[in-house]
Amino acid sequence: MRQIGTFPSEAQARFFTDYLLSRDIRSQLEPEADRSWSIWIQDEDQITEAQEALNRFQANPMAEEFQKAPEAAAKARQKEAEDLAAYRKRVRSSRSLFAKFSNYGVGLLTFSLMLVCFYVAVFSKLGKSDDWLRAWHITDPMNYTGRFLPEVRAGEFWRLFTPMFIHYGLLHLIFNMLGFYRLGSMIEARQNSLFLFVFIAVSAVLSNLAEYMIGHHVNFGGMSGVLYALAGYIWIRGKYNPGSGLFLDRQEVTYLMIWLVVCCIGIVGPVANWAHAAGLAVGMAWGGIAAFFATRHHE
C-alpha cells in the first residue's frame, strides 16, 4: 500500500476515492495531524493509474469524468455487499465443511478430490507401485508403443484426468494438498462447486496433454498443473476484478514464479514442467477473460 497524495478536506478526499472505486482501484483514507486526509492505494500495480487520476482531478475537479463518481461508487458498494452476502450464504451451506479450519471452509468438491489423492497415495504406496498405477496414467507406461493415446482412443477417457491424482512421495502429496486446499476452497466458496469442477476438468486435461505431447512423458502425475491453473486464475481475476473476492498477494505470486523456474532448471529432479506452464497459461487466460466480462458487465 502506498500514499499518492493528500486533500485538505475529508469531503473532497472521499469524492476522489469514490472516483477511484468506480475505476476498480481500491484505496484507503487516513487522517493526518494537520487535519488533511491522505490517499493510500492498496494495489501496487494501480499506483500509476491512481496518480494520473489524482493529477487530473487536482487540475480540474469539475471535469465530466469525475461527476458520475458517487453514483458509480454506490453501485460498486452495492455489488460488493451482494457478493459478500452470497459468499456468506455459500459458506454456511451444506457444500462447505469444517469451516472453522479455513477462512472459506473446505468445499465439498475440494474435500472429495483431496480424498481421492489420499486414496491413490495409499494404494500406490506414494507412487511406488507401478503396476497399481497403470490404469491412472494418461497411457499405460508398461505397454507404451509411441502411438497417440491408444487407451483413450479406445474409450478410457478418464486417463485424461487421473494423472492429477498420482503423487510421488510424501512431500509431493503434502505440498500439493496444502495448495489445493487453499486455492480450491477459495474458488469454491467465492463462486461455486460446478464452476470449480469444470475449471479443474479443463485445466487437468490441457496440462496433462501438454506434458504428454510436448514433454513426451507418460509416467508423470501430480496436482501441480491444476494448482498453477487455479493460482493463475485467482491472480489475474483478482488483479483486474477485485470485486470477485479472489486474491493472491505479491509474495505468493513471486513464490509460484520462482518455483516454476527452479523446476524448469532441474534442481529438484524430474518435474512435469509442461503441465505447470500449460496450467498457468490456462488459468491466467481464463482469469483475464472472466475479469473482462465481469467488469464490462459492471460498467
Domain assignment of residue 74, yes or no: no
* Residues 116 and 155 grouped into a single domain: yes
Percentage of residues in the chain having pLDDT higher than 70: 90
Asked if residue 73 is part of any domain, the answer here is: no
Q: Are residues 54 and 124 in the same domain?
A: no
d(Cα 288, Cα 296) in Å, to the nearest integer?
Answer: 12
Please report the pLDDT score of residue 191 as a whole number: 87
In this structure, is residue 134 part of a structural domain? yes
What CATH number has the domain bearing residue 187? Answer: 1.20.1540.10
What's the confidence (pLDDT) of residue 297?
A: 53
Q: What is the arithmetic mean of pLDDT over 119-140?
A: 95
**Domain of 31: which CATH number?**
3.30.70.1530
Does pLDDT of 44 surpass 90? no
Evaluate whether residue 77 is within a structural domain.
no
Together in a domain, 62 and 95: no
Mean pLDDT of all residues in 125-132? 94
Residues 20, 158 within the same domain: no
Separation of CA 286 from chain center: 10
Specify the range with the lowest mean pLDDT, choosing from 32-36, 147-151, 235-239. 32-36
Q: Per the domain annotation, does 83 fall within a domain?
A: no
Residue 79 lies in a domain: no
Residue 58 lies in a domain: yes
Mean of all residue pLDDT scores within the chain: 86
- For the chain, what is the domain count? 2
Q: What is the pLDDT of residues 58-68, one digit of tens each?
A: 888 888 888 77
Whether residue 149 is found in the same domain as residue 249:
yes
96: β partners: 107
Q: Are residues 208 and 110 in the same domain?
A: yes
Read off the pLDDT of residues 179-197 as tens digits, 9 standing for 90 and up: 999 999 999 988 889 999 9
Q: What is the pLDDT of residue 60?
A: 86
Mean pLDDT for 226-232 is 96
pLDDT of 96? 43
Q: pLDDT, tens digit, for every residue of 255-281?
A: 889 989 988 887 777 788 999 999 999
Torsion of CA 124, 126, 131, 134, to 10 degrees: 90
Which domain covers residue 8, as residue numbers?
2-67
Tell me the pLDDT tens digit for each residue of 68-118.
Answer: 777 777 777 777 666 666 655 655 544 444 444 445 567 889 999 999 999
User: Is pLDDT above 90 for 285?
Assistant: yes
- Do both 159 and 17 map to the same domain? no
Q: Average of pLDDT values for 238-262? A: 86
Asked whether the predicted pLDDT for residue 126 surpasses 50, the reply is yes
- What is the Cα 19 distance to its own chain's centre? 27
